Structure 1
Amino acid sequence: MTNFTRILFSVSMMLIGVFAMAQETITGTVTDGQMPLPGASITVTGTMDSATTDVNGMFTLQTSSLSGELTISYLGFNSLKLPFTINPGQQLNIGTINLTENSEELETVVIIGRGVIDLEQDRRTPVAVSNISQREIKLKSGNQEFPEVMKNTPSVYVASQAGGYGDSKMYVRGFDQTNTAFLLNGQPINGMEDGNMYWSNWSGMTDVANSVQVQRGLGSSKLAISSVGGTVNIVTKATDFRQGGFAQSIIGNDDYQKTTLSYNTGLMENGFGFSAMLTKWSGDGYNRGTFGEGYNYFISLGYKPNDQHLFNFLVFGAPQWHDQNFTKPIADYLKFGRKYNNNYGFLDGDYLSERRNYYHKPVLNLNWDWNINSAMELSSVLYASYGRGGGTGNWGNGRVRTADGHVDFNTIRDNNMMLPGMIGTESREAGERAYAIRNSVNNHAWYGLVSNFNHRVNDNFSYNAGLDVRTYKGTHYREISNLLGLNGFRVDNNVQYPDGYVVTETFSANPWSAFTNDPADNQKVNYDYDERISYGGIFGQAEYATDMFSVFIQGSVSTQSHIRWDRFGYTEAEEESDRVSNTGFNIKGGGSFNINEQNTIFVNAGYYSKQPYHDNIYLNFGNDVNPLTENEKITGIEAGYRFKSQYLDINLDAYRTSWKDRVTTESDIADQGEAVLYINNSGLSQLHTGIELSFMARPLEQLDVRGFASLGNWEYDDDVYIRVFDENQNLVSDGQFTINDEPVIGEQIQDVDGSKVGGGAQTTIGLGAIYRITPNFSIDTDWRTYDNLYAQAVVKENLELPSYDLVDAGVTYTMKFVKSSLTFRLNVNNVFDEVYISELTSAIPVEESAETYKGINVNNFGFFGNGRTWNFGMRFNF
């Protein structure tokens, strides 16, 4: 070795030694306050020295700096700056760092469909909004239904699942689910026939939801939809690009059991990634006779060929069945207990329910995100869903009840077997009382495409334009599920079978077999019809924003057509109805002003022309077109104030929503011949005003406190104008016709002006806190009070329900291992077992000598809310 080589080698080793000696080590753990945050970034500010956390949130960082500042960041959370000083030659452990969520970065955790998912952060002009994180959904849902995760939100009221698993109801600013838009990864999921939401079809939502954003009122939705109450954006999991998975087990009150398995391959070298999840659940239900069972499955395949394109295909389904409880007089609950349910009985000692809901609705999404360049992107989702299932009920007039009000299936079966030939009919003659259990089948096939182009022209101006098209085919009929000893059931009211026929086939009320059930036309009872709804809309938005202010305008226009085929009530030549088409639109605009970095004020306004639902277009489930329907008019205005600081965030909103020209029409047959009369209820108008406050405070590193309050005044602000028309749309004269021997009044005004709108509590207040005793152990609690809650009735003097308070609590403990963790979670809901009425569907006043309960006439129909419930879960992350 030459001298030069020796010198070079010696100098190199010295330099390496010096460099090695200068490398200091910093370690620590990053969490969200409860759970580790794998993949968090830790950087020495101003250098290239960095590290990322492992699956347990732990990191080891090598640096040559003896002092400086660490920047700790994670998607969806506020970044944290932390100064450090290291003694030479020693290792520095900075302990556990708890990052706080940043709702303004919510869209950054959305892996797919960002351009079609209408998150509030896509626009710099604020709206009234609340965010529910994946952590909160995961920890607090347990054995509760999906709407329950939104109950700590201003102006949101959730009626408990007293009807059975999946039967919750949700109100936003006093408007029910039919008038609140629900979007799943940008896909509208409200029923196209009536706007309803059936949460039993989405029982797996708590397992797959990545985040939920509740936009109250006008919202920031760009789609061609016209929601009155607001928009709920549900963002599901996509293909997880980090390898790993989890196994979870939950038990709860009333024998509730739930097991979930999930695994992700992570993003592989070939650009593909795969995620899968499977859940099984079962339970007896809180109220008697509300058993349920189901599965949830989720499969997602992602492909990222390059930085410009991202594809994701997912399949999500939740086949389930659950037995149901219906509203009944308060007197019945007082007599038989608050868990009383009269929809079931026993046959030869075995439990049997008359009312069971069963459904399976797989949803398929294909998302494509194309980053055209740094300023333009195109996002599209092609989707389909196939709903199969329905609900059971009694068929015929032979129901017999026991002394305690339950269905006496033994006596029913014996009565059926005494009928001639054991063939039942609907006849009420000669004491014939046939009885069977039927399935009301509601199948559908739904296809749609949402595509949105975004262009950020410069730092101040951006716009988007998009397309929303859907087609829906619904099929509805009734079939027999259980003949209860009969050989068959005779049908004489099918117009296409004038000689009648006997139904002998039975079909199981099961979500899996519903996919293959296909009865012949002469094996159906009561009705058999299809409907096609076609929809197309375009939408757009433009926004100009600076550091000081922002302004925006949004608009959309849509057209939809309706047609119906009835194979039961019409001859084959007349089974197709007239096609009905209508057009709607909406326009919204607003602006904001940033007083400084902490204070912002804003105002938004909008006008909707909302098309009537399909079920309001055709009368009485027939082909007769309602000639009196028209678009409803909604005008909304809201103003808000935002305050944000390191320790406190405050949101204050005020709103006014006017809903006019609500129209309902029904038809009836006059006593005089077969004259059809159309009874039109028009001019129904609602005015909803209110203020909302929400805050998040971080007074201590270990303590987060949040709260909300909403004070509403929701009233009918006009009289109802009732008119009766003949088939030629002529207003009838007073007394020209009679119905059930009562004279028909051609036009009259019913006074409901000033009556309170029922369904949701108009005053809600809540307060919650989470305290982290150690980095691995925390407790949390939420308190809510509900007041000014009224019955679901349109009457001058509506009935007010008693106010009530609820308290929920939870405990979380996490054990951390080298590359995994085990989390234990206990939830107790309604800790103090409050007894309360959650909803009433009638408004019978207190009369003289009437029996009352808390000042309410016991003849009113309704539900008691659930008492104390609990669930305990274990989740192993690997």
Structure 2
Amino acid sequence: MKRTALFLAMSAAMAAGAQEANQDTTEMIPVEVRATRAGVRAPFTKTNIRKAEIEQRNLGQDLPFLLNQTPSVVVNSDAGNGVGYTGIRVRGTDATRINITLNGIPFNDAESQGSFFVNLPDLASSASSIQIQRGVGTSSNGPGAFGATVNLSTVEANDKAYAEFNNSYGSFNTWKNTLRLGTGKVGKYFSADLRLSNITSDGFIDRATSDLKSYYFATAFEKGNSSLRFISFSGKEKTYQAWNGVTEADLKSNRTVNYAGTEKPGTPYQNETDNYGQTHYQLFFNQKINSRLNFNTGLFYVKGAGYYEQYKADRRYSSVGLPNVVVGNTTISRSDLVRQLWLDNDYYGNVFSLNYQANKTELTLGGMVSKYEGNHFGDVIWAKSGMPTPKHRFYDLNAWKNDATVYAKWQQEIAPYWQLYTDLQLRTVHYRIDGFRDNPTLRVNNDYAFLNPKAGVSYNRNGLQFYGSYGLAQKEPNRDDFEAGAARQPRPEKLHDFELGLNKTARTYNWGITGYYMAYKDQLVLTGQINDVGAYTRTNIDRSYRLGVELQGGLRLNRWAQLSANLAISRNKVVDFTEYVDDYDQGNQKQNKFNQTDIAFSPNLVGAGQLQLTPVKNLELNLNSKYVGRQYLDNTQQKSRSLEAFFVQDAQARYNLPVKGIQGITLVAQVNNLFNKMYAPNGYTFSYISGNTPYTENYYFPMAGTNWMFGVNVKL
């Protein structure tokens, strides 16, 4: 199987290459996102995904799964079928190091810096284009990009009224229902678009249910050289927790087991759920000042609130700030509890850009100012042995974060076919945390100033592009990193990224090769070291790096068959690593030192391939393949703590049924994991010593075997 996957990816990549058209895609995207995207002549490694490609893949799975075929991407799902909580890594880096923007506005959570697409289910149905920049990329808004930038645009122009009704049903009782409506141009100047979505699934993992609802609304006024656009989108999710994973023993015999809720005696607690709602408001004003100068500004506000509920067995009343219960002459100090851990936050600010473009010169001045206000609190809502009040708040902590960014970009034609690109970003952050749930007296009040330069050169002629670039990225630690303790506060991370690429685009083929070297300073990783309250937190390591090559391409075999593929080969190393292992016998931690070990979750090989056939009119067949090499669960590079390599295939058939009087009906049938591969793309590990014997426990997040989805899309 491995040889088949590698042959498919390498043969197509060598025969073809990078899927980038020789036209500047920034000309086709709205001005709201143009300042943060890289044009085709910019010397950065990127992949553009058009609306038609997004629609082809969108049958209800979360956005990361729609990006699975792009280079160096590995995705995972807590529920095992791509619905609910999902994750994405690019070049081995997780979502906390991937800068994600929606219409140029940051989507990453200000504190954890993660991106939770479950909060905005079916966002892909409103996406008009997506650009993925691998590596540092161009300057953007929000936290620094340490693996990639994902820039998503929901803005599109529809001159004519339309209506769409998309329905999908499949394995694990998975439903997706989407209604899209648009007015087109009304009175020459106005337009409005609306989407309503509902996604439900039982999940592959036991009780890993998802109940997801969302809407998207946009209205615009466009006249002459001015436009005003208002966008609002919102999501509400309720998912049964499935984030504990599966033990190594159960992975072999009971892959669907879910330990969440099992602290309750008897049947699992039925409401061990995650509940969160998030609403985004965006208001953009664009003004074309003259033929060369364009100004854009946007106000945004994001409101998020929600909690996850847990049944906790045999907990001390004192651990949640409650007095013991006295019944007669008996004092009860422990009880089963149900708690809710809440996050209620507000995020608002302004983005802006001023763009000047002449024949050989393009200048952009842009930036953002934003403020985040987060309230973290927890409530005990039930105790088996009784409570003095119906609800008890056992912690209530606040956090604030101010973020200001300004960047200047200059792209200049310095000779025929040669472009020089420079980019300088200044970002300042003030972050204040008034305590943590398990360490309420620990206060953080930090200021950061990051100066991030980028520069490169590119050559573009007759479909051939060569480029080289350097970029520096720096970013502040995440909220949890600061809980390491007052004496062990984390340092900011730093990344030097060098990219070198060669692409060729022709009428029937294209190919590309990219080489990169990413050198980290003070990267934050889990080492097993515990913080002041006995929890594991990330620690700065001095040096680590990624060195790799990405091959990609496409070949049109004939008028009804085409092949595309990509393959990433990389070396990802921690130069010196110290592992900390709990020694329960001695009551301390033992240290183990390692040198030149693989970075966790960084496979040396990642490949994808697609065979597309159109054997008859209106029928399209697609076979997608994905290969991911071995991933280590920690930085010790021990095979016993790793995820096996896997090779999976998905198949899809699409038939466009012409119907008189409407645009048509599209029937879609998709089979995922065609050959029933048992694999797990994600997991975690921890080790300890007890009775003078070392133990390691691995947990995995398995994916479903063969499963299917069927969809009916109607366009009026």
Superposed pair shares fold, TM > 0.5? yes
Alpha carbons 1:683, 1:721 under 8 Å: kept: no
1:586/1:568 CA distance change after superposition, 3 Å? closer
Alignment check: 8 A CA contact 1:239 1:312 kept: no
Match of residue 125 from structure 2: 207
The structure whose RCO (Cα within 8 Å, separation 6+) is larger is 2
**AA at the equivalent of 1:199:** F
Partner of 1:491: none
Which amino acid in structure 2 is aligned with residue 709 of structure 1?
L
Amino acid at match of 1:795: T
Residue 794 of structure 1 aligns with which residue?
635
Is 1:654 the counterpart of 2:519? The answer is no
1:598 equivalent in alignment to 2:457: no
In 2, Cα distance between equivalents of 1:626 and 1:554: 36
Q: CA deviation at 1:172?
A: 0.8
- Contact 2:136 2:472 (8 Å CA) reproduced: no
- Correspondence 1:468-617 to 2 at 5 A: 468-481=368-381, 483=382, 487-488=386-387, 502-505=388-391, 523-525=392-394, 527-545=395-413, 546-566=415-435, 577=443, 579-594=445-460, 596-617=461-482
3-state SS of 1:339 partner: coil
- Counterparts of 2:389 and 2:49, CA distance in 1: 50
Question: TM-score, with normalisation over the residues of structure 2?
Answer: 0.87
Note the 1:684-723 alignment, pairs <5 A: 684-720=542-578
Aligned-pair CA distance for 1:802: 2.0
**Shift, 1:300, TM fit:** 0.6
Cα shift at 1:344: 3.9
Check conservation: 1:132, 1:149, Cα contact below 8 A: no
Structure 2: which amino acid aligns with 1:814?
A: N
Give the alignment of 1:47-126 within 5 angstroms.
102=21, 104=23, 106-111=25-30, 113-116=32-35, 118-121=36-39, 124-126=41-43
Correspondence 1:761-772 to 2 at 5 A: 761-772=603-614
Q: Does 1:311 find its partner at 2:211?
A: no
TM-score (norm: length of structure 1): 0.71
How many percent of aligned residue pairs carry the same amino acid? 19
Q: Supply the AA of the counterpart residue of 1:304.
A: E
Q: Secondary structure at the match of 2:96?
A: helix
Q: Is the 8 A contact 1:813 1:824 kept in 2?
A: yes
Q: Which amino acid in 1 is paired with 2:272?
A: R
- In 2, the alpha carbon distance for the partners of 1:842 and 1:567 equals 24
Partner Cα distance (1:570, 1:784) in 2:
43
**Structure 1's 288 and 277: CA in aligned 2 closer, same or farther, altered over 3 A?**
same
Whether 2:505 is the aligned partner of 1:644: answer yes
Whether contact under 8 Å (1:344, 1:351) holds in the other structure is: yes
Verify the 8 A CA contact 1:359 1:387 in the aligned structure 2: yes
Contact kept in structure 1, 2:572 and 2:602, CA below 8 Å? no
Look up the match of 1:340: 257
> For 2:624, which of 782, 785, 801 is the aligned residue?
782
The residue number in structure 2 matching 1:414 is: none
1:840: how far off?
2.9
Query: Cα distance 1:101–1:590, how it changes in 2: closer, same or farther (>3 A)?
Result: closer
The answer (yes or no) to whether the contact 1:719–1:749 under 8 Å persists in 2 is no
**Alignment check: 8 A CA contact 1:320 1:360 kept:** yes
Gaps of 5+ in 1: 1-99, 400-418, 423-428, 489-501, 506-522, 671-676, 723-737, 851-856
Change (3 A) 1:315 1:224: closer
Map 1:4-19 to 2 at 5 A.
none
1:361 partner letter: Q
* Deviation of 1:316 (Å): 0.5
| Residues 305/437 of structure 1: CA separation in 2 closer, same or farther (3 Å cut) | same
Q: Distance in 2 between matches of 1:659 and 1:805?
A: 30
Q: Relative to 1, partners in 2 of residues 1:437 and 1:467: Cα closer, same or farther, differing over 3 Å?
A: same
Could you say what secondary structure the match of 1:318 adopts?
strand
Amino acid at match of 1:636: D
Distance 1:351 1:718 in 2: 44
Which residue does 2:103 correspond to in 1? 185
Match of 2:210 in 1: 292
1:135 counterpart SS class? helix
Tell me by how many angstroms 1:369 deviates.
1.7
Q: Helix, strand or coil for the counterpart of 1:362?
A: strand
Q: Which moved more, 1:656-665 or 1:762-771?
A: 656-665
Query: What amino acid is the match of 2:259?
Result: N
1:448-487 correspondence to structure 2 within 5 Å: 448-456=349-357, 458-481=358-381, 483=382, 487=386
- SS where residue 138 of structure 1 aligns? helix
Q: Is the 8 A contact 2:655 2:666 kept in 1?
A: yes
For residue 491 of structure 2, give the secondary structure of its aligned residue in structure 1.
coil
Deviation at 1:131, TM superposition (A): 2.0
Corresponding letter in the other structure for 1:504: P
Displacement of 1:660 after TM fit? 1.1
TM-aligned CA deviation for residue 224 of structure 1: 6.5
CA distance in 2, matches of 1:770, 1:343: 41
Residue 223 of structure 1 deviates from its aligned partner by: 3.9
In structure 1, C-alpha distance between the alignment counterparts of 2:536 and 2:261, rounded to whole Å: 38
Give 1:23's aligned residue: none
Partner of residue 173, structure 2: 255
Q: Secondary structure at the match of 1:266?
A: coil
Deviation (angstroms), 1:656: 0.5
Superposed displacement of residue 159, structure 1: 1.8
2:282 aligned partner, one-letter code: N
Question: What is the SS of the residue equivalent to 2:596?
Answer: coil
Offset of 1:149 from its aligned partner? 0.9
Compared CA separation, residues 802 and 304, structure 1 to 2 (3 A):
same
Q: Given residue 112 of structure 2, which amino acid in structure 1 is its aligned partner?
A: D
CA contact (8 A) 1:583 1:611 kept: no
Say which is worse superposed, 815-824 or 858-867, in terms of deviation. 858-867
The verdict on how the C-alpha distance between 1:609 and 1:801 changes in structure 2, with shifts beyond 3 A counting, is: closer
User: How far did 1:217 drift?
Assistant: 0.6
Residues 546-567 of structure 1 show CA distances to partners (whole Å, capped at 9, x for unaligned) of 5421111111111111223359
The correspondence for 2:55, drawn from 138, 147, 164, is 138
**Does the 8 A contact of 1:201 with 1:318 survive in 2?**
yes
Is this contact kept in 2: 1:201–1:319, CA < 8 A?
yes
What are the Cα deviations for residues 533-554 of structure 1, in whole angstroms up to 9, with x where unaligned? 0111111111112542111111
Shift of 1:684: 3.7
CA RMSD of aligned residues (A): 3.4
Distance 1:576 1:470, change over 3 A: farther
Change (3 A) 1:108 1:827: farther
Superposition deviation, residue 443 in structure 1: 1.4
Three-state SS of the structure 1 residue aligned to 2:632 is: coil
Q: Which residue of 2 aligns with 1:70?
A: none
| Pairwise CA distance, 1:679 | 10
Give the letter aligned to residue 405 of structure 2: G
Match of 1:814 in 2: 656
Closer, same or farther: CA 438–647 of 1 in aligned 2, 3 Å:
same
Asked if residue 216 in structure 1 is aligned to residue 134 in structure 2, the reply is yes
| Corresponding residue for residue 668 of structure 1 | 532
Name the SS of the counterpart of 1:353 in structure 2: coil
What whole-Å deviation, never above 9, does each CA across 1:230-262 have from its counterpart, x for those lacking one? 101111145633211111111111111121111
User: Match of 1:254, SS?
Assistant: helix
CA separation of 1:656 and 1:375: change in aligned 2, threshold 3 A: same
Write the letter of the residue equivalent to 1:314: I
Q: Is the 8 A contact 2:159 2:184 kept in 1?
A: yes
Measured after TM superposition, the shift of residue 343 of structure 1 is 1.8
Aligned to 2:704: 866
